[in-house]
């Protein structure tokens, strides 16, 4: 099961769209991050090594950085053909 670590109005929102398009089973865990105004805080529940978003975990495998997450998910859930074309 995929867990998407998420904060509304952040880059993690893009992966709600992708997970839905892939018809992947997932849960969302809301976490906090630092904010530009100096507020907020890194959430110990967030597995991202820099406390940022997005991040996902998949049965203990943690993936972070948006392009890496996109490639991981489209490889993991190939059914709808959204990944890179294979030769
Ligand atoms: N290149 C990264 C950017 C990550 C990033 O800067 N995320 C913001 C949220 S949109 C964040 O976590 N900010 C909190 C912080 O910098 O501590 C990605 O797309 O995965």
Phi/psi region, residue 79 (left: phi>0; alpha: psi -120 to 50; beta: rest), is alpha
Q: How far is the CA of 32 from the centre of ligand 1 (A)?
A: 12
* Residue 16, domain extent: 2-80
Ligand 1, closest atom to CA 50? 17
- For residue 12, being part of any structural domain is answered with yes
Domain CATH number, residue 36 = 3.40.30.10
Does the model's pTM come out above 0.85?
yes
Tens digit of each residue's pLDDT (9 = 90 or more) over 45-82: 999 999 999 999 999 999 999 999 999 999 999 988 99
- For residue 87, being part of any structural domain is answered with no
Q: Whose Cα sits closest to atom 6 in ligand 1? A: 52
- For residue 20, being part of any structural domain is answered with yes
- For residue 86, being part of any structural domain is answered with no
- For residue 58, being part of any structural domain is answered with yes
Q: Name the domain count of the chain.
A: 1
Tens digit of each residue's pLDDT (9 = 90 or more) over 7-26: 999 999 999 999 999 999 99
Rounded distance between C-alpha atoms, residue 31 and residue 47, angstroms:
10
């Amino acid at each position: 099961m995929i867990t998407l670590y998420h904060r509304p109005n952040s880059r993690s929102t893009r992966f709600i769209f992708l997970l839905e398009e892939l018809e992947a089973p997932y849960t969302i865990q809301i976490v906090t991050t630092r904010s530009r105004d100096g507020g907020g805080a890194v959430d110990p529940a967030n597995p991202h090594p820099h406390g940022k978003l997005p991040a996902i975990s998949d049965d203990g495998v943690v993936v972070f950085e948006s392009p890496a997450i996109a490639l991981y998910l489209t490889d993991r859930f190939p059914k709808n053909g959204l990944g890179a074309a294979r030769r």
